[in-house]
């Protein structure tokens, strides 16, 4: 059974940094691309970033490019999102979601429970 | 980038009655292999999104058969044959093979 558990959310001041984690289990983590998707309060879903199965390919939404870094540790079955220079508009629930063996195919058949990031002074 | 437009934004439905949600894309979603990969997601209040439908019309495991997906090219529909209380939430469409990943704006289903 696929299980994705995010952690690391919290309250942070504008301009500061935060690192999110997503612990994966129940599938061969190292074989799949992984994504981060976020949802601002009362808003819809916004894709944030993707990383290929081996970490060699990454892509980001324009809204976070240059500030966020996605990474993974296949030995620990864990996905990360390093968020720097946080802005109030980054405040959202952040979900990790399962990708595919092909980076550009987006099944999103499994999601974590999400972790809330609050950006406020 | 593909733009996904859902309608209506809000859908009040009487219990036991049908519901229909439209999703239109700004470009054809037919993939290079000739298939169309369009997902539908349900997000109940306070919960994570859950995929209901993949490849336009295939229900995910555990999804009740009152949910059905249809469409082709740029026009797609999610139908609920008889709405139940547990169907309350927001529904999103998303193409699975267009980059960058883009969700529709969502349709909120509520009980009248």
Shortest distance between the Cα of B49 and any Cα of chain A, in A, equals: 7
Say whether residue A27 is in contact with chain B using an 8 A CB cutoff: no
pLDDT of residue B68: 98
Contacts of A44 in chain B (CB under 8 A): 90, 92, 103-106
Cβ-proximal residues to A94 (8 Å cutoff; 6+ apart), any chain: A6, A9, A20, A36, A37, A38, A48, A81, A114, A115, A116, A117
Q: What pLDDT sits at residue A76? A: 98
CA distance to partner chain B, nearest, from residue A47 (Å): 6
Inter-chain residue contact A95 with B49, CB threshold 8 Å: yes
The SS3 assignment for B56 reads: coil
What gap in Å lies between CA B21 and CA A120, rounded to an integer?
36
The per-residue pLDDT for B36 is 96
The set of residues, in sequence order, having a beta carbon less than 8 Å from that of B28 and lying 6+ positions away, is B73, B74
Identify the pLDDT of residue B89.
98
Q: How far is A64 from chain B (nearest CA, A)?
A: 13
Residue A28: predicted pLDDT: 97
CA distance B38 to B8: 18
Token readout for B65 is 């058969």
| Per-residue model confidence (pLDDT) at position B109 | 98
Structure confidence at residue B32 (pLDDT):
92
In this prediction, the residues of chain A whose per-residue pLDDT falls under 70 are none
Is there a contact between A59 and B37 if contact means CB atoms under 8 Å apart? no
pLDDT of res. A58: 97
For strands A18-25 and A45-51, give the pairing: unpaired
Residue of A nearest to B47 (CA): A113
Residues A27, B102: Cα–Cα separation, whole Å? 25
Taking the C-alpha atoms of residue B102 and residue B73, their distance in angstroms, rounded to an integer, is 16
Burial degree of B102 (CB within 10 A; 0-12, 13-18, 19+)? buried
Task: Using a CB–CB cutoff of 8 Å, tell me whether A88 touches chain B.
Answer: no
Q: Which residues fall within 8 angstroms of residue B85, CB to CB, at 6 or more apart?
A: B15, B111
CA atoms of A72 and A64, how far apart (whole Å): 18
Residue B2 touches partner A, C-beta closer than 8 Å: no
Q: Which residues of A touch B92 (CB under 8 A)?
A: 44-45
Give strand ranges (E) for chain B: 4-7, 10-13, 19-25, 38-43, 50-54, 58-59, 67-72, 75-80, 89-95, 107-111
**Cβ atoms of B25 and B94 closer than 8 Å:** no
Structure token pair of residue A1:
């059974």
pLDDT digits over A57-78, tens only? Answer: 999 999 999 999 999 999 999 9
Q: List alpha helices for B1-112, DSSP H.
A: none
d(CA A51, CA A59): 7
Mean pLDDT by 10 residues, chain B (112 residues): 96 98 96 95 98 98 97 97 98 95 97 96
Q: In the prediction, which pLDDT does A108 show? A: 94
Q: Residue B100's pLDDT is what?
A: 94
For residue B3, the model assigns a pLDDT of 97
- Contact flag B49-A108 (C-beta cutoff 8 Å): yes
- In sequence order, what are the residues at sequence separation of 6 or more whose Cβ sits closer than 8 angstroms to the Cβ of residue B5? B23, B24, B25, B26, B104, B105
User: Considering CB atoms only, which of B49, B50, B96 is closest to A45?
Assistant: B49
| Rounded CA separation B66/B84 (Å) | 10
């Amino acid at each position: 059974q696929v299980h994705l558990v995010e952690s690391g959310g919290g309250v942070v001041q504008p301009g500061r940094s935060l690192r999110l984690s997503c612990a994966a289990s129940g599938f061969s983590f190292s074989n799949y691309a992984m994504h981060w998707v976020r949802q601002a309060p009362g808003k819809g879903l916004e894709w944030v970033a993707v990383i290929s199965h081996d970490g060699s390919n990454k892509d980001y939404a324009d809204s976070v490019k240059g500030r966020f870094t996605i990474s993974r540790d296949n030995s620990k079955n864990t996905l990360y999102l390093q968020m720097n220079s946080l802005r109030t508009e980054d405040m959202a629930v952040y979900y990790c979601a399962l990708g595919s063996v092909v980076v550009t195919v987006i099944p999103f058949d499994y999601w974590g429970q999400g972790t809330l990031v609050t950006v406020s002074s | 980038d593909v733009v996904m437009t859902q309608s209506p934004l809000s859908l009040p439905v009487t219990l036991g009655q049908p519901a229909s949600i439209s999703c239109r894309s700004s470009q054809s979603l037919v993939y290079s292999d000739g298939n169309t990969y369009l997902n539908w997601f349900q997000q109940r209040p306070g919960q994570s999104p859950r995929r209901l439908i993949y490849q336009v019309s295939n229900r995910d495991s555990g999804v009740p058969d009152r949910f059905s997906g249809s469409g082709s090219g740029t026009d797609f529909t999610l139908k609920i044959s008889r709405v139940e209380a547990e169907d309350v939430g927001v529904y999103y469409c998303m193409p699975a093979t267009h980059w960058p990943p883009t969700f529709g704006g969502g349709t909120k289903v509520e009980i009248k």
